[in-house]
C-alpha cells in the first residue's frame, strides 16, 4: 500500500470514529478521551503525553486524558516472536527456556511476557509493538498536515499545535528506545542503592536491545492491595510515609524522579517498595533544582518576589509578561496557601495552581515541571488511598528541615556561591579595563563622545589614577573573598591555624591595601 493510500485509509478511520461519537453535537473531555481510545495505540500514547502538559492544555482535558486506559489489545504472539527474533538475530528458543504466550500486560507501545532464561531465572520480557515506530511517525506526519489545513491554533498564547506535536514525538521516541529505559533503570538503582526500603528490578543488560528489554520478574503485592498488605503484616501508614519520603528524595536530591507513579508501577516485596517501569522519568538540571528550591523557600518565607524571580527564570515566554499582574496573581496564590496548615495542603494541587497562573500569564514551564505536577498528583492519590493520614507536604518539609544543614548541602551551596562570586568578580574586574579601553580609544580619536570633551593633562592623570585604584580595589576584594572561601575548607598545609593559601591571600590583600593608602597620601601631598 502506498503512502497516499495509507493516509486515505487512516483518514477514513478517523472520520468514522468521529462520526461514531457524534462530535457535531458537542465536544467534551470525556468524548475526546473515548475518541483517542478508539483510534488505537498511537493516539492513546499521544493523549497520555498530552495529559502531562497542563501548562498548555486545559486542566479538565489533562485530568480526563490521565484516565486513558493503559491496557490495549495485545499483539498476536506470532508478532512477539518476530520482534524478538529480529532483535536477537536468532530463534526465540535459543534465548529463553520458556515464554508465556499470553501477555501479563499490554500498553500502547509495548507488552510484557513472563519468561524463563536458559540459566533458570524468571524474568519479564518487554517487547515493543511491531511497526509502532513507523505507525506513530506516520500518524504524527498526518496530524501535522491536518494542522496545516486548519486556521493557526494557539494554546493560551504559548505554543502552536505543530510545536506540541513535535514535542510529543520526541517524548514518544524516547519511550520507544528501550536502551534509554535500561539506562534509566541503572541510574535509578544507583541513586537509591543506599535507601534500605527501596529497590527496583534487576536489569539483564545482555538481553536488552532498542526493541526488547529483559528484567527481573517482581511478584510482591500491589501497593493498592490493602487487604493483602494487612494480611502480610504490613503497616499501611509506614508504607505511605516511606513512599512519600522516597519520592521527595527523588525530586529534591536526585533531580531524577518517576513520572508515572501509579499503583501498577509500585509493588511491595520483602518489606521494600519496588519501583518498576522506568520508561517515563523526569529530570531536573542543577539549575532547575535551585530554582525549584527558591519557589519552596518563597512559599515558606512568604516572599512573592523570590517566587516571581524563580518562575520567570524557569519559564519560557514569547512576549514579556506583565510583571505587575504576575506579581499580583502569585501574591493571591501565596495568600491562599502560605498560611494554610501543612497537614491540609496537597502539593500536586498547589503546583497545579501555580502552573495555571503561569499559563494565564503566558509563561510556558519546562516539560520536567509539568511531569512533576502529574507525578505529584498521581502519588498523592495513591498515598491518600492507602494511608490517608500521610501528607506529602509534611514529609517534604521534614526532609528539607533535616537536610538543611547537612554537609552535602553546605558543600553544594558553597560551590554554587563560589561560582557566582567568581562570575561576578570576572565581570567586575573587566569594568576598569572597559573604561581604560574607552579612554584609550578616545585619546587616539577612535571614539567620539557626544559631550565633545577634550582631555587635559590633569584630567588624564586623574582618570588614570582612578582606573588604577579601581583595579586595585577589585583585586583586593577578589583576594579577600577567595581567601575567605578557602578558609572554610580543610586544605593543607596550614599557617597560623588556617589554610596557608588563604593566609597568603589575606597577607597580599593587606599589602595592596597599604599601597593604595600610601599612594593616596602621596597624591594629596603633591596637590598641596
Q: Is residue 126 part of a domain?
A: no
Task: Flag whether 304 is in a domain.
Answer: yes
* Exposed / middle / buried, residue 137 (Cβ in 10 Å: 0-12, 13-18, 19+): middle
Residues 386 and 420 in one domain: no
Q: 4 pLDDT band (50/70/90 cuts)?
A: low
Task: Specify whether 394 is located in the same domain as 433.
Answer: no
Whether residue 441 is found in the same domain as residue 390: no
For the segment 169-198, what is each residue's pLDDT rounded down to a tens digit? 887 888 889 999 999 999 999 999 999 999
**What is the pLDDT at residue 352?**
82
Q: Is residue 391 part of a domain?
A: yes
Containing 344, the helix (H) or strand (E) segment is none
> Cα-atom radius of gyration of the chain, to the nearest Å?
31
Q: Are residues 341 and 464 in the same domain?
A: no
Which residues lie closer than 8 Å to 479 by C-beta, 6 or more apart? 505, 506, 508, 509, 512
- Do 267 and 345 lie in one domain? The reply is yes
Q: Between these two residues, 491 and 313, which has the higher pLDDT value? A: 313
Torsion over CA: 223, 229, 234, 238 (sign): positive
- Out of 404, 429, 462, a domain closes at 404
**CB 189: neighbour CB atoms within 10 A?**
17
pLDDT at 436: 56
Range with the poorest average pLDDT among 117-131, 394-408, 409-423, 467-481: 409-423
pLDDT at 404: 42
Nearest-CA neighbor of 315 among 351, 382, 271, 364?
A: 364
What is the average pLDDT score of the chain? 79
Chosen domain end from 404, 424, 446: 404
Task: Look at residue 8 in the predicted model and tell me its pLDDT.
Answer: 65
* pLDDT the model gives residue 69: 61
pLDDT band at 141 (very low <50, low <70, confident <90, very high): confident
> What pLDDT score does 498 carry?
78
For 74, the 3-state DSSP assignment is coil
String of DSSP letters for 345-381? --HHHHHHHHHHHHHHTT-BPPHHHHHHHHHHHHHHH
Q: Provide the percentage of residues in the chain whose pLDDT is more than 70.
A: 77
- So what's the pLDDT on residue 192? 96
The CA-to-CA distance between both ends of the chain, in Å, stands at: 99
Q: How sure is the predictor about 126, in pLDDT bands with cuts at 50, 70 and 90?
A: very high
Considering the domain architecture, whether residues 438 and 466 belong to the same structural domain is answered as yes
Q: Does 384 map to a domain?
A: yes
Domain span at 484: 407-527
Over residues 61-86, the pLDDT tens digits come to: 887 887 776 667 889 999 999 999 99
| Backbone φ and ψ of 223, nearest 5° | -65, -20
Whether a cis peptide bond, with omega within 30° of 0, leads into 493 is yes
Same domain, 276 and 348: yes
Please report the DSSP string for 292-319 in residue order. HHHHHHHHHHT-HHHHHHHHHHH-B-SS
Q: What is the pTM for the complete model shown?
A: 0.68
- Is 215 part of any domain? no
Q: What is the dihedral of CA 356, 358, 364, 368, to 10 degrees?
A: -70
Distances (CA, A) of 311 to 304, 314, 365: 11, 5, 8
Is 79 within a domain? Answer: no
What would the grid cell of residue 116 be?
A: 524463563
Question: pLDDT tens digits, residue range 354-413?
Answer: 888 888 888 877 878 888 888 888 899 899 999 988 888 778 777 766 654 343 443 444
Domain match, 376 and 254 both: yes
- If one counts the domains in the chain, the total is 3
204 or 369, which is more confident?
204
Whether the Cβ atoms of residue 182 and residue 213 lie closer than 8 Å to each other: yes
Amino acid at each position: 500500500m502506498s503512502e497516499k493510500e495509507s493516509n486515505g485509509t487512516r483518514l477514513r478511520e478517523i472520520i468514522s470514529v468521529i462520526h461514531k461519537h457524534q462530535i457535531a453535537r458537542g465536544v467534551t473531555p470525556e468524548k475526546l478521551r473515548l475518541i483517542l481510545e478508539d483510534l488505537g495505540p498511537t493516539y492513546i500514547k499521544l493523549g497520555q503525553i498530552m495529559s502531562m502538559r497542563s501548562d498548555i492544555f486545559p486542566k479538565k482535558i489533562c485530568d480526563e486524558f490521565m484516565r486513558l486506559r493503559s491496557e490495549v489489545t495485545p499483539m498476536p504472539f506470532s508478532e512477539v516472536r518476530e520482534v524478538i527474533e529480529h532483535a536477537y538475530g536468532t530463534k526465540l528458543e535459543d534465548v529463553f527456556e520458556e515464554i508465556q504466550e499470553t501477555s501479563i500486560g499490554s500498553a500502547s507501545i509495548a507488552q510484557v511476557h513472563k519468561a524463563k532464561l536458559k540459566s533458570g531465572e524468571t524474568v519479564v520480557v518487554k517487547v515493543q509493538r511491531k511497526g509502532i515506530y513507523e505507525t506513530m511517525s506516520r500518524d504524527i506526519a498526518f496530524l501535522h498536515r491536518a494542522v496545516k489545513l486548519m486556521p493557526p491554533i494557539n494554546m493560551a498564547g504559548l505554543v502552536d499545535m505543530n510545536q506540541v506535536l513535535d514535542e510529543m514525538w520526541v517524548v514518544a521516541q524516547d519511550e520507544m528506545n528501550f536502551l534509554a529505559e535500561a539506562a534509566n533503570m541503572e541510574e535509578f538503582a544507583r541513586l537509591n542503592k543506599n535507601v534500605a526500603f527501596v529497590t527496583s528490578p534487576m536489569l539483564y543488560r545482555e538481553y536488552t536491545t532498542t526493541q526488547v528489554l529483559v528484567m527481573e520478574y517482581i511478584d510482591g503485592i500491589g501497593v493498592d492491595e490493602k487487604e493483602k498488605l494487612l494480611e502480610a503484616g504490613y503497616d499501611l501508614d509506614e508504607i505511605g510515609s516511606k513512599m512519600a519520603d522516597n519520592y521527595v528524595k527523588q525530586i529534591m536530591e536526585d533531580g531524577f524522579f518517576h513520572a508515572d507513579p501509579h499503583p501498577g508501577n509500585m509493588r511491595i516485596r520483602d518489606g521494600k517498595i519496588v519501583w518498576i517501569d522506568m520508561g517515563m522519568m523526569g529530570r531536573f538540571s542543577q539549575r532547575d533544582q535551585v530554582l525549584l528550591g527558591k519557589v519552596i523557600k518563597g512559599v515558606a518565607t512568604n516572599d512573592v518576589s523570590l517566587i516571581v524571580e524563580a518562575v520567570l527564570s524557569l519559564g519560557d515566554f514569547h512576549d514579556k509578561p506583565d510583571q505587575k499582574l504576575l506579581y499580583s496573581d502569585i501574591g493571591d496564590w501565596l495568600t491562599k496557601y502560605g498560611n494554610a496548615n501543612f497537614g491540609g495542603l496537597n502539593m500536586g494541587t498547589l503546583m497545579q495552581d501555580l502552573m495555571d497562573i503561569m499559563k494565564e500569564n503566558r509563561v510556558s514551564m519546562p516539560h520536567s515541571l509539568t511531569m512533576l505536577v502529574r507525578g505529584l498528583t498521581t502519588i498523592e492519590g495513591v498515598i491518600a488511598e492507602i494511608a490517608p493520614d500521610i501528607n506529602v507536604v509534611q514529609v517534604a518539609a521534614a526532609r528539607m528541615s533535616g537536610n538543611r544543614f547537612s554537609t552535602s548541602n553546605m558543600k553544594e551551596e558553597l560551590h554554587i556561591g563560589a561560582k557566582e562570586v567568581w562570575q561576578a568578580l570576572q565581570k567586575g574586574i573587566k569594568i576598569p579595563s572597559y573604561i581604560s579601553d574607552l579612554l584609550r580609544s578616545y585619546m587616539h580619536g577612535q571614539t567620539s563622545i557626544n559631550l565633545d570633551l577634550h582631555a587635559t593633562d590633569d584630567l588624564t592623570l586623574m582618570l588614570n589614577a582612578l582606573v588604577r585604584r579601581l583595579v586595585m580595589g577589585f583585586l583586593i576584594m577578589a583576594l579577600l573573598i577567595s581567601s575567605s572561601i578557602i578558609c572554610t575548607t580543610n586544605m593543607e598545609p596550614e599557617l597560623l591555624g588556617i589554610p596557608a593559601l588563604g593566609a597568603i591571600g589575606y597577607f597580599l590583600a593587606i599589602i595592596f591595601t597599604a599601597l593604595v593608602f600610601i599612594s593616596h597620601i602621596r597624591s594629596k601631598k603633591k596637590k598641596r
